[in-house]
Structure 1
């Protein structure tokens, strides 16, 4: 809706957009695992679509960087190493820092309504100590944060980065913060927006990203080391 109570046309989604979302979701949750090859005939049958829109959707994901094309071999889901993880979070920092600046210049009240709803979803998942639900709620919070900026371009950039982030966390669940710590990190972001403290908000979003990089780095190194011989 635009002005309160004013009806507007409902946006129509193309088949290609729907297929693209299905593929992103499959990559997000690991149904299409890192390094896995995409079989066109198999995917078309599983999705119940023709190959034309499927090819177009897969090319979108190639352009977004979630799939890679290998000549004479086909399309594969990307794999992420330590440098990729660091790059993803620094890119997210740039996008979400810009989003935070836009929020502080707009109607913060609207942003707070959306972000408080997202925060409650995270609180509920944390109470259950459900890691998958926490990851979902964490992602939903950051999506809401970027959407609240009102910038469609920032939102578009964040979409791919959040899928890549989830790929990192799927592989490295042991590095995820304790539920209470995760909730508190996000609660502080909401409080800074409520207080109108832009300097604190930007400092917190930077700490949120850089602290995550530090948590992920040791786990990736140890995962790369060969397992010790049995004693």
Structure 2
């Protein structure tokens, strides 16, 4: 890995990649809602692109599970069922638990430096009572957490899972925890990293995911299906 400050090649991104980023963002923030049909002509006009790279971008999102294809009808933004919600958090638990294990065996100082601003942003949003900004800060924290693992494949998996997480936002607003509760949970995660307490960190991440499924689906089971749901915990 290049040393900090050392020059490295700048990756070139294709038009399809840039379009896919915009579509993910539109799905994440609800500009494209679950169940919406994607019309090629309309989207190509709005984005100012040709249909070739647009089709490539949309197929990427089909492969990621964000869009679904219906024969003779076209592409639609995927709607998440309770089973989908469970699956998203099973996958997130696997990704973030592995990321945490890598962080604890790597540079915890770097993780502290990168995660502290995300917690500060969450604190500001909590103080303002801004739910949308809280959700953005929450996702930034988890995206950064996975990034701190240094594993690019985990980062790619987390990207799609966090978009699907944001798609749950409409449902989650009714069961979202109090700002102070959400902030305190993230502070405990960061404290566990700083103090080198891996077992506590992994337990916090697990309860983080389990409680979200319980809140969204109103279920009283575990994400992994093998234990009791712990009390307390965060959303997202």
- Give distance in 2, aligned partners of 1:188 and 1:72: 50
Residue 48 of structure 2 corresponds to 48
Q: CA RMSD in A?
A: 1.3
Helix, strand or coil: the match of 2:41?
helix
Residue 92 of structure 1 corresponds to 92
Quick check: 2:20–2:57 contact (8 Å CA) kept in 1? yes
Cα deviations by residue, 1:45-91 (Å, 9 ceiling, x for unpaired): 00010000000000000000000001100000000111111111111
Structure 1 length as normaliser, TM-score? 0.92
Residue 226 of structure 2 corresponds to none
Q: Structure 2: state its 5+ residue gaps.
A: 220-236
Structure 2 length as normaliser, TM-score? 0.90
Quick check: 2:172–2:215 contact (8 Å CA) kept in 1? no
Helix, strand or coil: the match of 2:218?
helix
Residue 126 of structure 1 corresponds to 126
Runs of 4+ in 1 over 6 A off after TM superposition: none
**Post-superposition offset of 1:11:** 2.1
**Post-superposition offset of 1:215:** 1.1
- Give distance in 2, aligned partners of 1:23 and 1:40: 12
**Post-superposition offset of 1:217:** 1.7
Whether 2:57 is the aligned partner of 1:57: answer yes
Greater helix share, 1 or 2?
Answer: 1
Q: Structure 1: state its 5+ residue gaps.
A: 220-231
Residue 199 of structure 2 corresponds to 199
Residue 105 of structure 2 corresponds to 105
**Post-superposition offset of 1:35:** 0.6
Matches within 5 A, 1:100-179: 100-179=100-179
Quick check: 1:108–1:193 contact (8 Å CA) kept in 2? yes
